[in-house]
Amino acid sequence: MTHPSHRPGRLGVGVVSAGKVGAVLGAALRAAGHAVVGVNAVSEASRERAELLLPDVPVLDVPAVLERSELVLLAVPDDELPGLVQGLADAGLWQAGQLVVHTSGRWGTGVLEPARRAGAIPLAIHPAMTFTGLSLDLARLNDCSFGITAPAPVLPIAQALVVEMGAEPVVVAEADRPLYHAALAHGSNHLMTVAGQSMQVLRDIGVEHPDRVLGPLLRATLDNAMAAGEAALTGPVARGDAGTVAAHRGALDEYAHGHGGDDVLLAYLDLARVTARRALDRGFLDRARYDAVLAALELTGGTDGTDGKDTP
């Protein structure tokens, strides 16, 4: 078989910087046969990461990376990206025909406009995945999707880069990037918060290994949600078991007072209210059971996003 580096269209790739995402995607592009010609790594952790995932790749300052590269991979925090792109444009470092690819979920290609004005080709490819910065992330790319945004004439380039890394490209419109990213953050980051709160409560009542108790349940729940959507919704709120919900509310209120914090209670109340509303809208709950659940949560009709017309 032909070695990946002998495929047509191989590029010299520069990585800015060797964070968890940049180092992994640089390694994935290298595995696809592209030559990683330089990496920017400032901190000790990023230098170690570059050495692990991009061995023998020279560690360079950003101007040197851009000078060498046909494709520049910008893997920096969202808030840093606009200033970096503009600063490099002000310094005259972007090259005509150079591919400029960023990995931010929030931004589309508009943030790369200073580079585009210099003749560079803008692409946005965001992996919908959480990264450790270790080699195991490379295998995870095979089950990963990337949200991609690019001008229509060069969209196939973005798609091809993602496919070469073993992932699936999903086109996201420029105007939809913030909402796309909000959806991913809501699903992933807030899941982490809920799991952490649940393990905290179990630990505080003496459960020695809360991960063993909660882990199988959460994994099964996520699998069911991905397979069947909200049709798989279970639990006392979805069933309209207002008495159980009231017991939860009382226990969590007592827990909040006894453990010096009410974040678990507030999260439970807010999410239970949203869950009840979605169950009502999808026909899993009738209005009477819905109102009973809200009463158990000490919420009232008319303040919950409905008009309250059917509320007794």
pTM of the model: 0.88
How would you list the strands of the sheet with 35-40, edge to edge? 35-40, 12-16, 71-74, 99-102, 121-127, 145-149, 168-171
How many other C-beta atoms lie within 10 A of the C-beta of residue 24? 29
Cα 236 from Cα 203, distance rounded (Å): 23
Cα 29 from Cα 165, distance rounded (Å): 6
**Is residue 271 pLDDT above 70, yes or no?**
yes
Percent of the chain with pLDDT over 90: 90
Cα 83 from Cα 235, distance rounded (Å): 47
pLDDT of residue 299: 52
Q: 142 CB contacts (<8 Å, ≥6 apart)?
A: 166, 167
Phi and psi at residue 202, to the nearest 5°: -60, -40
**Is residue 303 pLDDT above 60, yes or no?**
no
CB-hemisphere CA count at 13 Å for 31? 16
Per-residue pLDDT tens over the stretch 199-244: 999 999 999 999 999 999 999 999 999 999 999 999 999 999 999 9
Percent of the chain with pLDDT over 70: 93
8 A C-beta contact, residue 103 and residue 77: no
CATH superfamily of 4-172: NAD(P)-binding Rossmann-like Domain (3.40.50.720)
Domain residue ranges of the chain, discontinuous segments joined by +:
4-172, 180-296
Q: Report the helix count and the strand count for the chain, using DSSP H and E.
A: 13, 7
Lowest-pLDDT range of 14-28, 176-190, 251-265: 251-265
8 A C-beta contact, residue 133 and residue 140: no
Per-residue pLDDT tens over the stretch 108-138: 999 999 999 999 999 999 999 999 999 999 9
8 A C-beta contact, residue 81 and residue 124: no
**Is residue 300 pLDDT above 60, yes or no?**
no
pLDDT of residue 260: 72
Per-chain mean pLDDT for the chain: 93
